[in-house]
Amino acid sequence: MIRRVTPARVVHAVGRRLGLARNELKVRRQPLHSYAPRSALTGPETAVGRARVPAVDVHNHLGLWLNQGHAWMAPDVGALLASMDELGVATIVNLDGRWDAELEANLDRYDRTHPGRFLTFCHLDWSLLTDRRFPELLPAVLHRAKAAGAGGIKVWKDLGLDVRDHDGLLVQPDDPRLYDVWETAADLDLPVLMHTADPVAFWQPVDRTNERFEELTRHPDWHHGSRDVPGHDELVTAFERVVAAHPRTTFIGAHVASSAEDLDRASRMLDRLPNLTVDLSAREAELGRQPRRAAAFLARHADRVLWGTDSFPFRPEQYRTWFRLLESDDEYFPYGADPPQQGRWSVYGMGLDGALLQAVYADNARRVVPGLRV
């Protein structure tokens, strides 16, 4: 008799010889990416439905350009406002203003129709870098944006990693040819929210030791270590140099100035550079896995840290995760989607006190961003 030999039969035959049960084999053959353990811990689960005080989210995206198909990130502004009211979010800073016609469209849809609830930041039009006159052309973009009503300037990580000049060379945040851009920002009273670099792991080898291995296998294009670009430290140092070179200009370092893995470094930056503040956006996983250190950092720089989410398209559950993280004493809970999208760990509440929450949720943003004071 001829028996068909299937791979499964071979595995089971080998397994039997090794003395393994059928169930045990099935378990052993699960891929690691399907691993989704449920914590057996029992303990308080504090539902924090709204921010303790009316909050300002200084970092979110409501515009067109980041969305596939160029559709509005928040398709229904009425529903968005209702959700903000429910969460206790007074104002969202929309970082998607871009420039000229797109800026006008954002201002019409958000700031002008719902004053006080939204503040739109503009961008610099980097396509002008291919023109040798860009050192004069870029400040003109800012003058037009200010006249239209932009509340600040968002600079994305493409400065340093992707944006090139007329000779095809990468332009760094501290490029001296951008001197007038940052001085113009100060003249126009426009704060500069700058996202430089990325998580440290995005430069490390994508192997079994990389703490964001799964994320980088999902998004291989996010890995900078295999590209001919400056390193993490080089970029963050360039950011520090530009902040130091323009003491009149207000800078907000997005994502804890890309230094959430090294809060001592972020702390040194804040100590040294009085015109710098940082936002917390998209770093709940980093802050929440070191809650004592993060709480000490926030207390030490109580007037220099701004809350932001980077939660887009607008996700109320991510806001509630933020509130739980900052306000509760809960231990070991998910920082976002399941399975975790950044690294395979859980987070711990910081239990911040009322005065610190008031500063981080609202007061610091209103002090640093003039458009939020009206």
* Interface positions with Zn ion (CB under 5 A): 310
DSSP 174: T
CB of 205 to Zn ion, least distance (A): 26
CB of 93 to Zn ion, least distance (A): 10
Length, in residues, of the chain: 374
Within the chain, strands assigned E span 55-60, 89-94, 118-120, 153-155, 192-194, 251-253, 276-279, 305-306
CB of 97 to Zn ion, least distance (A): 13
On whether the CB atoms of residues 354 and 51 are closer than 8 A, the answer is no
Q: Which is nearer to Zn ion, 310 or 330 (CB)?
A: 310
Q: Which is nearer to Zn ion, 215 or 310 (CB)?
A: 310
On whether the CB atoms of residues 200 and 215 are closer than 8 A, the answer is no
* Amino acid identity for residue 203 in this structure: W
Q: Which is nearer to Zn ion, 99 or 134 (CB)?
A: 99
Q: Which is nearer to Zn ion, 96 or 330 (CB)?
A: 96
CB of 268 to Zn ion, least distance (A): 24
Q: Which is nearer to Zn ion, 240 or 310 (CB)?
A: 310
Is residue 265 classed exposed, middle or buried when 0-12, 13-18 and 19+ CB atoms within 10 A define those classes? middle
Q: How far is CA 138 from CA 41, 169, 179, 302, in A?
A: 55, 18, 11, 34
On whether the CB atoms of residues 365 and 306 are closer than 8 A, the answer is yes
Residue 102 has a CB neighbour count (10 Å cut-off) of 17
Q: Which is nearer to Zn ion, 139 or 152 (CB)?
A: 152
CB of 196 to Zn ion, least distance (A): 12
* Position with the least CB separation from Zn ion: 310
CB of 94 to Zn ion, least distance (A): 11
